[in-house]
């Protein structure tokens, strides 16, 4: 039988209040508290903390404090990444962020979700769906990426957009729910 952590990582219903998962979330809280107390002068310490927190971290990556996440180890970031102030990533499942990506202030990325059925939901069980952000993506301030979405290459997600479905390559999306408002030429 799968552990609750294995169920979480597989996208199955699971109990988040097991000792193992509570301990892992507390580890992430401790690391993010330390990270959020750093300043721009602490670049080496910031890098070390992100390497300890994230599952993988490419070169030239920077996250403005404050930053929040649930576990950290499910976040995988490629090179040339920048996240502005108040970024939140609920990483119960894997979050993959490609090369040359920018995340605006107050943007949120969610993998965690709950059953729609009220009887099932009140049991406290939850589940998660992975999020993928491809290369050369700019996510505007206070945008939200919901569980299970994939954002294609060269996409701009406008400020305040709520992404509820996959986004194709080379477009601008805006609104709630986010819809394509402009096609962009493919970057060579």
Contact 14, 7 (CB under 8 A): yes
- For the record, the structure tokens of 8 come out as 């979480």
- Using alpha carbons, list the distances in angstroms from residue 177 to 140, 158, 160: 15, 12, 10
**Rounded distance between C-alpha atoms, residue 66 and residue 73, angstroms:** 18
Per annotation, catalytic residue among 66, 114, 162, 179:
114
114 noted as active-site residue: yes
Contact 151, 116 (CB under 8 A): no
Nearest CA-CA partner of 53 in 9, 91, 110: 91
- Residues annotated as catalytic are 114
């Amino acid at each position: 039988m799968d552990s609750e952590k294995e169920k979480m990582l597989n996208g199955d219903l699971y109990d988040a209040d097991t000792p193992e998962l509570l301990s892992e979330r507390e580890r992430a809280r401790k690391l993010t508290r330390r990270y959020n107390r750093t300043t721009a002068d602490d670049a080496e310490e910031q890098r070390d903390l992100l390497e300890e927190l994230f599952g993988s971290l490419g070169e030239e990556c920077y996250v403005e404090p404050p930053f929040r996440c649930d576990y950290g180890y499910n976040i995988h970031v490629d090179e040339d990444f920048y996240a502005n102030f108040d970024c939140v990533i609920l990483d119960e499942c894997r979050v993959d962020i490609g090369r040359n990506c920018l995340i605006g202030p107050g943007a949120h990325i969610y993998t965690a979700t709950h059953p729609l059925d009220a009887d099932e939901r009140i049991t406290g069980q939850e589940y998660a769906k992975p999020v993928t952000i491809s290369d050369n993506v700019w996510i505007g301030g206070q945008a939200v990426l919901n569980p299970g979405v994939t954002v294609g290459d060269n996409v701009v997600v406008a400020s305040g957009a709520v992404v509820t479905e996959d986004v194709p390559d080379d477009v601008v999306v805006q609104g709630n729910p986010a819809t394509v408002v402009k096609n962009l030429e493919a970057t060579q």
